[in-house]
Amino acid sequence: MIKRSSSQPTDDALWSEFLGFIPEAPNAASPLELFVGFEEQMRSEGRTEEEAGADRARVLRLTNERQDWIGPMFDRIYASDAPNFNQAPNQFLSEIVASERPGRVLDIAMGQGRNSVFLATIGWHVTGIDVSPQGIAVAEAGANRAGVTIDARQVGIDEFELGSAQWDLIVLTYALVPVADVVFANRIVDSLAPGGLLVIESFGSNRDATNRRPVDLDPDELRAAYRALETIRFEDEEALPDWTDRSARVVRMAARKPFSSDGT
């Protein structure tokens, strides 16, 4: 365990302490529990309540800039006996695909596979990717119990070859990837087949909001990033998210890639 010096740690030192805490922490039911647990540990090591709170806020800010915490953190969450997130298929996704003809789907940041297994049971050919080996293991076990097959791969989105014009559906629900980044969005749009659907849901906040979560989406940025698609449904409202038991701002979008003028 890393001991604190009497002076305020640098960002790199604080981050190293946080990364060291994650594998030693008790299994957590949600990301919030891990951040709270880290703050409690800092206080137990002599940090004042004010200092520990400030460092927790600093760590939260750093999660928006760094990626090496995602897999280890979700391993702890997915190993929990009582996860504090919705384990049923995402309701918005369920509504959107109800009238769609099944095809090839990519579930990005699939987690425990709740959406992937659901889609496989209604006929979709599913590829799901995630950086958490624990999440992949749970997803594969869930597919076996449901009697379906999913292609589950432990890989990050930067290393995964999305391809061009090959997915009939791409799912991004509460995904710790740069959803509204223009470069990322262009990769997604290019990989959708003509007529293919993109379904997104996550927490929402404006770009200039304080204490933004790494998964927060700015609605205006999201619309702009995917302007090449035809939006068929867009929601920005207070609702019960999949990842907390309290009402919060949620942003949802379903959009379709247009066919070319010749119908292809």
Last residue of a domain, one of 78, 106, 129: 78
Check whether residue 26 and residue 101 sit in a common domain. no
Q: Is residue 176 part of a domain?
A: yes
> pLDDT value at position 7?
66
The CA-based angle 121-124-126, given to 5 degrees, is 95
- Write the CB contacts of 48 (distance below 8 Å, at least 6 apart in sequence): none
Q: Give the integer Cα–Cα distance in Å for 83 and 99.
A: 31
Residue 200 included in any domain = yes
| pLDDT higher at 27 or 40 | 40
**pLDDT for res 2:** 42
Same domain, 73 and 95: no
Phi, psi of 170 (to 5 degrees): -125, 130
Q: How far from 160 is each of 123, 127, 144, CA to CA, in Å?
A: 24, 11, 24
pLDDT at 4: 45
DSSP state of 66: -
Residue range(s) defining the domain that contains residue 34: 11-78
Q: What is the mean pLDDT of residues 7-26?
A: 88
CATH code, domain with 251: 3.40.50.150
Distance CA 32, CA 54 (A): 15
How much of the chain exceeds pLDDT 90, in percent? Answer: 71
Let me know whether 52 and 124 are in one domain.
no
Whether 2 is covered by a domain: the verdict is no
Q: Report how far residue 114's alpha carbon sits from residue 21's, in angstroms, rounded to the nearest whole number.
A: 28
Per cent of the chain over pLDDT 70 is 94
Q: How confident is the model at residue 212 (pLDDT cuts 50, 70, 90)?
A: confident
Closest C-alpha among 211, 114, 107 to residue 169: 107
92-98 contacts at long range (C-beta below 8 A, 24 or more positions apart): 92/173, 92/199, 92/201, 92/235, 92/252, 92/254, 93/118, 93/171, 93/173, 93/199, 93/201, 94/118, 96/197, 96/199, 96/232, 96/233, 96/254, 97/122, 97/124, 97/169, 97/197, 97/199
Q: Are residues 69 and 121 in the same domain?
A: no
**Assigned domain for 4 exists:** no
In a domain, 227, yes or no: yes
Claim to verify: residue 127 and residue 205 sit in the same structural domain:
yes
> 188 and 64 share a domain?
no
Same domain flag for 24 and 139: no
Q: Are residues 74 and 96 in the same domain?
A: no
Q: Is 227 found in the same domain as 195?
A: yes
Please compute the mean of the pLDDT values over residues 172-194 and round it to a whole number. Answer: 96
Determine the Cα–Cα distance for residues 156 and 249; give it in Å rounded to an integer: 27
More confident residue, 174 or 33: 174
Query: Is the domain of 105 the same as that of 197?
Result: yes
Strands in 72-181 per DSSP E: 104-108, 125-130, 151-154, 167-173
Position with higher pLDDT, 79 vs 114: 114
**Is 105 a domain residue?**
yes
In a domain, 108, yes or no: yes
Query: What angle, 0 to 180 degrees and rounded to 10, lies between the N-to-C axes of helices 49-63 and 11-24?
Result: 90
pTM of this structure: 0.85
Kindly state whether residues 121 and 56 are assigned to the same domain. Answer: no
Confidence band of 9 (pLDDT split at 50, 70, 90): confident
pLDDT at residue 119 in the model:
98
Sequential DSSP letters for 157-198? TTTS---SS-EEEEEEES-SS-TT-HHHHHHHHHHEEEEEEE
Residue 3 lies in a domain: no
How many domains does the structure of the chain reveal? 2
Residues 34 and 96 in one domain: no
